[in-house]
Homo-oligomer: A and B are copies of this chain.
Amino acid sequence: MLLCDVGNTSYHFLDGTKEYKEDVKTFNPAPLHEQIFYICVNPNVKEILKELKNWIDLSSHVDMLHYYETMGVDRIFACEAIENGIILDAGSAVTVDLVKNGVFGGGFIYPGVRAMSQTYKNISKALDYSFNFEIDLDKMPKNSADALSYGYLKLLYNEVVAHGMDIYLTGGDATLFATLFRDAKVDETLIFKGMKKIMKKADLC
């Protein structure tokens, strides 16, 4: 039995305790014959997978009562993994979601590292800097590189810590954000944990 979380850029597999990724552009899911339980936010891949009988979409098994219809299924399954806390999933977008006593309490969407960096660069060539995740957040910057890093990171940091809850970091850039959120728990398998919980509830394992 395999688990798979399909994002905009990759298939993220969990095989027992082994994790690996395949590129959405090049990976062909059809030759796999074992049973694969998945969630998918990528509309093109979704069309392919629904034709494959051994690929089982878990999204229909979630109780949507506390979520909203257009909410990304990856955010929903990350929320299902925890009882209390704030989840920061750092991928092409950064999604931040609150869970209180097992119930989704709202969330927001922010650009991911690569997207935000590209945004600054597009505004002006003078804004072509890498983000400094070790920036001193207590001082208003007096240089260009920190002026961008502060704009991107301090604003996000303040909002996330303001809720005073345990912080969970997941997604491809989780370790990068761990430099900023020093007390956060990094868990790149959070979505898989949510998937397993849902499978148990639905008697699928």
Q: Which residues of A contact B (CB under 8 A)?
A: 8, 41, 43, 67-68, 70-72, 92-93, 96, 98, 104-112, 115-116, 118-120, 122-127, 139-144, 146-148, 150-152, 154-156, 158-159, 162
Contacts and interface: CB of A to CB of B under 8 A. Distances in A.
A184 to B, nearest CB: 18
A141 B106 contact: yes
Contacts of A71: 144
B106 A151 contact: no
Given A109-B148, A111-B120, 7 more contacts: A8-B123, A43-B125, A68-B143, A108-B150, A108-B151, A116-B119, A158-B162
A140 B110 contact: no
Contacts of A96: 151
A140 B107 contact: yes
Contacts of A127: 93, 109
Contacts of A70: 126, 143-144
A15 B123 CA distance: 28
Contacts of A120: 93, 109, 111
B92 A147 contact: no
A10 to B, nearest CB: 14
Given A70-B144, A116-B119, A124-B8, A109 B151 contact: yes
Given A155-B158, A159-B158, A111 B123 contact: yes
Contacts of A119: 111, 115-116, 118-119
A118 B111 CA distance: 11
Most B CB atoms within 10 A — which of A41, A92, A119?
Answer: A119
